[in-house]
Amino acid sequence: MEAVLSAADAISLERQAAASDTGNRGRRKGFFTDTTLCIGCKACEVACKQWNQLPDDGFLFTGMSYDNTVALGASTWRHVAFIERPVALSTQDAGAFSWLFSSDVCKHCARAGCLDSCPTGAIVRTEFDSVYVQPDICNGCGYCVVNCPFGVIDRREDDGRAWKCTLCYDRLREEMAPACAKACPTDSIKFGDLEELRETAQERVRALHHSGMKEAYLYGADAVSQPGTEGLNAFFLLVDKPEVYNLPPDPVPPLKRVKPVWASFAMAAVGLLTLAIGSAFAARR
């Protein structure tokens, strides 16, 4: 693998990007967010809000570098993290400092905690393998909020329902790429067929390693590297620990751990009945 793209390769990538708008139907789609290409411009945040017509989150100065939207939430479906590190990137000549950006989004997990836990069936898996909340079904029970291992989905209090990224379901149905990927000027957010994205991502990591950026790695690219979620449909290329980006190092949807809980529940319930009957019999004597 050459570290340097040839002109022909670059143009063919361009063409691919332009063609990513078509051929959505019935295929597994996702995002590959390459944080080493992110310039923190927040175009994804704005494009997302504009396309989906999301309201603002208020106007509070947070003092958190250039991040004033803080986290993903009911009305923020793309969020760019700004991390000021006292450590240099291995390929950068800029003193002991680096500034990392990462555009976070719903991961559309292969095993999605929110979907499994949704009591109403409002959360469904679409034909694009994305996880989608139907706003006309959701009754705002809030259970998905505590079932997301990434802290993505949230209930908007004045609206009452849970909201999160839809992977631009409406755009996908019209054979268009999601708004954030379309708006990303540096192709840090890549949208496409999951299998192809995984290949692109592997190649990118190899190229980065080749150019000296040994710290680059993929987060959640597949079930092997992230067995808890069984892989993310929106995965990331990171250069520091996941926690630095406010991502969990080992996310597991609670459902995967709940079997023994049901067992102890059954035992306890039987115990309770036994206790009830026992105490009644005791009273009889």
The CA distances from residue 43 to 14, 17, 78, 122, 208, in Å, are: 19, 17, 10, 29, 25
Cβ-based nearer residue to other proteins, 3 or 23: 3
Cβ-based nearer residue to other proteins, 9 or 195: 9
Structure letter (DSSP) for residue 87: S
What is the Cα–Cα distance from 19 to 157, expressed in whole angstroms?
39
- What does the chain come to in residues? 285
Cβ-based nearer residue to other proteins, 195 or 267: 267
- Closest contact distance (angstroms) between CB of 264 and other proteins is 5
Cβ-based nearer residue to other proteins, 23 or 278: 278
Structure letter (DSSP) for residue 242: G
- Closest contact distance (angstroms) between CB of 191 and other proteins is 16
- Closest contact distance (angstroms) between CB of 281 and other proteins is 5
Write out the two tokens for 8: 């022909």
What is the Cα–Cα distance from 197 to 178, expressed in whole angstroms?
15
Instruction: Please calculate the CA angle 108-72-205 and round it to the nearest 5 degrees.
Output: 55
- Closest contact distance (angstroms) between CB of 271 and other proteins is 7
- Closest contact distance (angstroms) between CB of 172 and other proteins is 11
Q: Is residue 226 within 8 Å of 247, Cβ to Cβ? A: no
- Closest contact distance (angstroms) between CB of 35 and other proteins is 10
Write out the two tokens for 265: 């529940």
Write out the two tokens for 52: 């989906």
Q: Is residue 29 within 8 Å of 129, Cβ to Cβ? A: yes
Cβ-based nearer residue to other proteins, 73 or 220: 73
Cβ-based nearer residue to other proteins, 23 or 135: 135
